[in-house]
A and B are shown apart, each in its own frame.
Chain A
């Protein structure tokens, strides 16, 4: 699998490259700036881009913008965003095209490299992975009203939907919660019924549906993102 890495901190970039090479990935390019990233993505057409949100030249959200631009030109280009912080707004922008193949993780998650490698494979395969912190925030946002369908979920169902939103498969959820895969699928059916979402066997479509549901806060009155 060919990967482009964009990270401006030299040590972190080298560390990532070393980790990925050790796991048998091929590094198509490693760059330290947003223009470099865009060029590399358009030239190399990698299987995945691992992108730090904050990159030169302006050290703001250049990485995200470059990645989104590249995704416009190459639809479905898998992007895994890494950042020191998670913002719901960035998650929304990343998920806006509803086509999957995106991930958004805190940089810390690289520490547990097995999990990180799983994420890389999932995103490269067109899946969607959200950092648990993003999901926690989204669930907090939806759980605010008393009459929310979300508040009708049982504790177990909340755990399941949380893991589901992070992008985990049924088997991963089952492992995590020490329950059978069958139980997970039962819970997920119940969740989808309670939220009035169309059930889906496709893991990725299921993730996207859950995330879209969590993000569409009704009566929220928010202005659409200006970018």
Chain B
């Protein structure tokens, strides 16, 4: 029974575990609430946390049932042996351990950098081993399966797994500033819930259970093999989850439903409904139980099945059903939907910024060159009239007209440079950026490896992105030197602008870098900024170019 088989012992271990689970549930609930407040609401993945909270609450309630029954039987003098139905346990210990460990990791590490993906299973394994160990140490007399081997395996594997877990926590997968709470809570929570389900299911299917002790008299070799196979199985499942998390999630949800139904059927719950006869156990004969106890046991099995079934049904809408609806053509592919949304957004932005740009150009032309041309025309008109009456004055007007035309030209040149730098048209992105670097008031090295021209719109977007980043660096970074690297590899154009300034650049503040990000987004490009206080600032941009 969850989480420990109970052999007529005191109810406190179960009580402790139930309490622990309840605390986890409360913490998870608060974490969920905090996340909702910070604006992560409404995303499909964001909803994944709630089933976990519900699952935990359910598990706590469910776990309290045997504790309650135990207390009940003890008080009625039922005589010690309350209930243990291993064949009714969907792994018992292991899912409980994983559930709690995953949730603890999720809740207690909200500000840690994103850990490696295997940190949760590792933490879960440690917890599982610890629980197993505690179990055997707590119930040395009751443990029919308790062998020296179990204890020794626990002694070895706990420290080893603990080292793994610590290593996983010490060295984050990447230096990306991804916060567990902000980005990874949904996936961690999903893991916490689904990993045990998958493990249990596979274990049940293959008749293996990592945390099930080998029966006494099995022989050491067989027990070790059993243990190793269980470990390998766990590894395979973890790898599967990492590689195909969605498929695993769907499988687990379906499995929970299946196990739930199986448990209910086997418990004889159905017997009272007149539907199903009690099945024999796949793992051997059901222990002979007193009738009353057997009744309780089957009721408990039914409750357990109901909880699992509910959990599975709860998970279906976020796992299997969307896939099914998509396959049936009811729902569009979420990836496609997301892509369409991205494209609509970036298109709207592109159209908007193009319109704004046109308005700016119109205004500049109107206030600048156009006005000057009018002045020139008027001057020439007056000069034409005065050319005979006052040639001196007429000459002065003509000179004025010429000066105005030079100014108009100057303005037009500036305007054209802002629209599409001539060098970009003449020689392409590489040379245009080199020309840009030459015109800067700071020394600016360039390493440009662009043997071919790119598509015009892409070149223009990249040029202005670089120009904006460089302008930022010159204006705000108090830099002494700049460096621009630009290379194309594997259909990706990678641009890097490095300055030795004061750092502290943040795309979230100020519009410059955010504008660059938007500009690049129209081409599926991305921008990353590393700018610690004190510098240096590195702005990296990557744009796909076919």
Which of B426, B441, B448 is A144 in contact with, Cβ under 8 Å?
B441
Stretch touching chain B among A41-49, A82-90, A194-202 = A82-90
Give min CB distance, B454 to chain A, whole Å: 15
**A60 interface residue (CB < 8 Å to B):** yes
B406 at the interface (CB under 8 A from A): yes
Interface centre among B425, B426, B427 (most CB of A within 10 A): B426
Which of under 10, 10 to 19, 20 to 34, or 35 or more describes the interface residues of B?
A: 20 to 34
- List chain A residues, Cβ under 8 A from B441: 140, 144
- A88 with B438: CB separation less than 8 A: yes
A54 with B426: in contact, given A88-B438, A89-B438, A141-B438 (CB under 8 Å)?
A: yes
User: How far, in whole Å, are A89 and B431 apart by their CA atoms in the complex?
Assistant: 8
Total A-B contacts with CB atoms under 8 angstroms apart: 66
Instruction: Check: B348 CB closer than 8 A to any chain A CB.
Output: no
Contact status A223-B406, CB under 8 Å: no
CA distance A219 to B425 in the complex (A): 28
Asked whether any CB of chain A lies closer than 8 Å to the CB of B435, the reply is yes
* B433: min CB distance to chain A, Å: 11
Q: Which listed residue (B423, B425, B439) contacts A137, Cβ 8 A?
A: B439
The closest CB in chain B to the CB of A109 belongs to B406
Q: Which B residues touch A140, using CB under 8 A?
A: 439, 441
A144/B422 in contact, CB under 8 A: no
A147-B439 Cα distance, complex, nearest whole Å: 20
Contact A60 B445 (CB under 8 A): no
Bound: A61/B435 CA distance, A? 14
* Distance, CA A201 to CA B413, complexed state (A): 37
The chain A residue sitting closest to B439, CB to CB, is: A137
Contacts of A155 in B (CB 8 A): none
Q: Give every chain B residue within 8 A of A226 (Cβ-Cβ).
A: 430-431
Quote the shortest CB–CB distance from A8 to chain B (angstroms): 14
Q: Which residues of A contact B413 (CB under 8 A)?
A: 84-85
Within the assembled complex, what's the spacing in Å between the Cα atoms of A47 and B513? 52
B409 and A108 form a contact (CB under 8 A): yes
Cross-interface CB contact of B402 among A111, A221, A225, cutoff 8 Å? A111
- Beta-carbon nearest neighbor of A107 in chain B: B409
Closest residue on chain A to residue B423 by CB atoms = A87
Are A217's CB and B443's CB within 8 A?
A: yes
Interface flag for A24 (CB, 8 Å): no
B102 to chain A, nearest CB (A): 51
B438 CB contacts on chain A under 8 angstroms:
88-89, 137, 141, 222
A172 to B415, CA, bound (A): 33
Q: Contacts A61-B427, A111-B406: A87 and B422 contacting too (C-beta < 8 A)?
A: yes
| Distance, CA A61 to CA B432, complexed state (A) | 13
Which residues of A138-164 are within 8 A (CB) of B?
A: 140-141, 144-145
Tell me how far the C-beta of B83 lies from the nearest C-beta in chain A, rounded to whole angstroms. 78
Which A residue sits closest to B446, measured CB to CB? A222
With A60-B426, A111-B405, A223-B448 known to touch, is A87 a contact of B435 (CB < 8 Å)? yes
Query: Within the complex, what minimum Cβ distance (angstroms) separates A193 from chain B?
Result: 25
Query: B417 near A85 (CB under 8 angstroms)?
Result: yes
Chain A 89-115 interface 0/1 with B at a Cβ cutoff of 8 Å (1 = within)? 100000000000000000110010000
- Name the one of B406, B431, B446 contacting A221, with C-beta atoms under 8 angstroms: B446
- Cβ-based interface call for B236 (8 A): no
Known: A111-B405, A111-B406, A220-B445. A60 touches B427 (CB 8 A): yes
Nearest-neighbor residue (CB-CB) of A146 within chain B = B480
Residue of A nearest to B408 (CB): A108
Answer whether residue B116 sits at the interface, using C-beta atoms and an 8 A cutoff. Answer: no
Q: Find residues 150-205 in chain B having any chain A CB closer than 8 Å to their own CB.
A: none
Q: Assess whether B434 is interfacial by the CB under 8 Å rule.
A: yes
- Would you call B333 an interface residue if the criterion is a C-beta within 8 Å of the partner chain's C-beta atoms? no
Q: Using a CB-CB cutoff of 8 Å, which residues 169-227 of chain A contact chain B?
A: 217, 219-223, 225-226
Query: Given the complex of chains A and B, what is the CA–CA distance between A132 and B183 in angstroms?
Result: 56
Give chain A residues whose Cβ lies under 8 Å from the Cβ of B483: 221
Residue B447, interface by CB 8 Å: yes
Question: Would you call B434 and A222 a contact (CB within 8 A)?
Answer: yes
CA distance A26 to B423 in the complex (A): 33
Expressed in whole angstroms, the minimum distance between the Cβ of A56 and any Cβ of chain B is: 13
Which residue in chain A gives the minimum CB-CB distance to B431? A89
A226-B434 Cα distance, complex, nearest whole Å: 12
| Complexed CA–CA distance, A54 and B443 (Å) | 29
Query: A144 near B427 (CB under 8 angstroms)?
Result: no
Query: Which residues on the A side are within 8 Å of B431 (C-beta)?
Result: 89, 225-226
- A225 to B434, alpha carbons, bound, how many Å? 9
Which B residues between 397 and 451 are near A, CB-CB below 8 angstroms? Answer: 402, 405-406, 409-410, 413, 416-417, 422-423, 425-427, 430-431, 434-435, 437-439, 441-443, 445-448
Interface centre among A53, A108, A137, by most B CB within 10 Å? Answer: A108
In the complex, residue of chain B having the shortest beta-carbon distance to the beta carbon of A222: B446
Residues of the A chain whose Cβ atoms lie less than 8 Å from the Cβ of B434: 89, 222-223
**Residues of chain A within 8 A of B410, CB atoms compared:** 108
Considering only residues 93-136 of chain B, those with a C-beta below 8 Å from chain A are none
Q: Which B residues are in CB contact (< 8 Å) with A108?
A: 406, 409-410
Please measure, in the bound complex, the distance between the C-alpha atom of A25 and the C-alpha atom of B439, giving whole angstroms. 36
Q: Which residues of B contact A84 (CB under 8 A)?
A: 409, 413, 416, 422
The interface residues of chain B lying within 8 Å CB-to-CB of A54 are: 422, 426
Q: Chain B residues near A61 (CB, 8 Å)?
A: 426-427
Q: Which residues of A contact B430 (CB under 8 A)?
A: 226
- Contact yes or no, A220 B443, CB < 8 A: yes
B149 to chain A, nearest CB (A): 66
A145 with B443: CB separation less than 8 A: yes
Task: List residues of chain A with CB within 8 A of the CB of B427.
Answer: 60-61, 89
- Within the complex, the shortest CB–CB distance from B406 to chain A, in Å, comes to 5
A81 to chain B: closest CB distance in Å?
A: 13
Chain A proximity of B405: nearest CB distance (Å)? 7
A53 contacts across to B, CB distance below 8 A: 426
A47–B448 CA distance with the chains assembled, in angstroms: 38
Which residues does chain B contribute within 8 Å of A87, judged by CB atoms? Answer: 422-423, 435
- Once the chains are docked, how many angstroms separate the CA of A217 from the CA of B444? 10
**Across the two chains, which residue of chain B brings its CB closest to A112?**
B402
Q: Could you list which residues of chain A lie within 8 angstroms of chain B, going by C-beta atoms?
A: 53-54, 59-61, 84-85, 87-89, 107-108, 111, 137, 140-141, 144-145, 217, 219-223, 225-226
In the assembled complex, 22 residue pairs joining A and B whose CB atoms fall closer than 8 Å, in A order, are: A54-B426, A60-B427, A61-B426, A61-B427, A84-B413, A85-B417, A88-B435, A89-B434, A89-B438, A108-B409, A108-B410, A111-B406, A137-B438, A145-B443, A217-B443, A219-B443, A221-B447, A222-B437, A222-B438, A222-B445, A223-B446, A226-B431
Given known contacts A84-B416, A223-B446, A226-B430, what 5 new A-B pairs fall within 8 Å (CB)? A54-B426, A61-B427, A87-B422, A144-B442, A144-B443
By Cβ-Cβ distance, the 10 closest A-B pairs, closest first, are A221-B445, A60-B426, A61-B426, A88-B438, A85-B422, A108-B406, A89-B435, A108-B409, A144-B443, A87-B435
